[in-house]
């Protein structure tokens, strides 16, 4: 393979909502938002079609809803709205650096976003736009990890990229266990059997059923997103 050519032609990037918040953990940090937009724009500039799904942990989490006494279904819909807020912010950041982007929602909100359909999403990707799939699947009881896997399969992505605060999958939480060791490659079934919570297990199962590889990596290691799509050894490959 030509080392100057990307390994993947079409990818889906899953970002946590917390990634947009930086050190504050809540809200959106403008400098972080622009840094992420720049990384995405760089991937697009080398000819890779990229879709993005953003979580909403910086705005609203289901656990917060339970604390407030909010019904689980309503809490999940509140989380979906949070993903849409984050997605609009990312779209705006991309547009500011002249990267065409389009928010597509699972719930119709025609005033500021297009409704997600597979056909329209693929057409936008082929036209060079970054597609930001917002609102999860539009249904409660489904995480944004699983929504990401679903959207990745629907658009025919070659790989799902999971951006985290750590540089891959570990035998234990490296932030809590200093003896945890990094795993460079691991099979889907081991993630499920060992219940390694780097991803929602339904997400892993869906990727396994569709032979969709997952790369878990640290987005804030500058240039890591480009390295991932180029096929360089980075993070952890789940296959």
Q: How many independent structural domains does the chain possess?
A: 1
Q: Is 189 exposed, middle or buried (0-12, 13-18, 19+ CB in 10 A)?
A: exposed
Residue 1: inside a domain? no
- pLDDT over 90 for what percent of the chain? 87
For residue range 134-174, list pLDDT tens digits in order.
999 999 999 999 999 999 999 999 999 999 988 999 998 88
Residue 3 lies in a domain: no
Q: Which pTM was predicted? A: 0.95
3-state helix, strand, coil in the chain (%, to 5): 40, 20, 40
Nearest to 22 by CA among 60, 72, 57: 57
Give the per-residue pLDDT at 3. Answer: 60
- For 33-90, the pLDDT digits (tens) are 999 999 999 999 999 999 999 999 999 987 778 788 999 999 999 999 999 999 999 9
pLDDT at 124 over 50: yes
Which residues lie closer than 8 Å to 159 by C-beta, 6 or more apart?
7, 8, 11, 12, 152, 212, 213, 214, 215, 228, 229
Domain that holds residue 86: 10-238
User: CA angle 33-38-39, nearest 5°?
Assistant: 100
Average pLDDT over residues 96-122: 97
Query: Band of the pLDDT at 175, cuts 50, 70, 90?
Result: confident
Q: What angle do CA 167, 173, 177 make, to 5 degrees?
A: 115
Q: Is residue 59 part of a domain?
A: yes
Residue 205 has pLDDT above 50, yes or no: yes
CATH code for the domain of 53: 3.40.1160.10
Q: Say if 2 falls within a structural domain.
A: no
Q: Is position 5 within any domain?
A: no
Q: Where are the alpha helices (DSSP H) in the chain?
A: 17-21, 30-45, 62-68, 72-96, 118-126, 144-155, 188-193, 201-209, 224-230
Q: What is the pLDDT of residue 4?
A: 84
Query: What SS3 class is residue 153?
Result: helix
Instruction: Indicate whether 108 belongs to any domain.
Output: yes
């Amino acid at each position: 393979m030509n080392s100057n050519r990307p390994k993947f032609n079409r990818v889906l990037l899953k970002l946590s909502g917390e990634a947009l918040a930086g050190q504050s953990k809540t809200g959106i940090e403008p400098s972080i938002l622009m840094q992420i937009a720049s990384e995405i724009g760089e991937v697009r500039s080398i000819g890779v079609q990229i879709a993005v799904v953003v979580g909403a942990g910086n705005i609203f989490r289901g656990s917060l809803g339970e604390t407030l006494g909010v019904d689980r279904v309503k809490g999940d819909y509140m989380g979906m709205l949070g993903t849409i807020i984050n997605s609009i912010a990312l779209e705006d950041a991309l547009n500011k650096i002249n990267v065409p982007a389009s928010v597509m929602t699972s719930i119709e909100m025609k005033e500021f976003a297009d409704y997600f359909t597979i056909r329209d999403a693929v057409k936008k990707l082929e036209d060079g736009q970054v597609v930001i799939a917002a609102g999860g699947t539009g249904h409660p009881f489904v995480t944004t990890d699983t929504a990401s896997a679903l959207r990745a399969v629907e658009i025919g992505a070659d790989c799902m990229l999971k951006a985290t605060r750590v540089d891959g999958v570990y035998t234990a939480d490296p932030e809590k266990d200093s003896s945890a060791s990094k795993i460079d490659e691991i099979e889907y079934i081991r993630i499920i059997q060992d219940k390694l919570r780097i991803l929602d297990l339904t997400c892993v199962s869906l990727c396994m059923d569709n032979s969709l590889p997952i790369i878990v990596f640290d987005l804030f290691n500058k240039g890591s997103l480009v390295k991932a799509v180029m096929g360089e050894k980075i993070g952890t490959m789940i296959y």
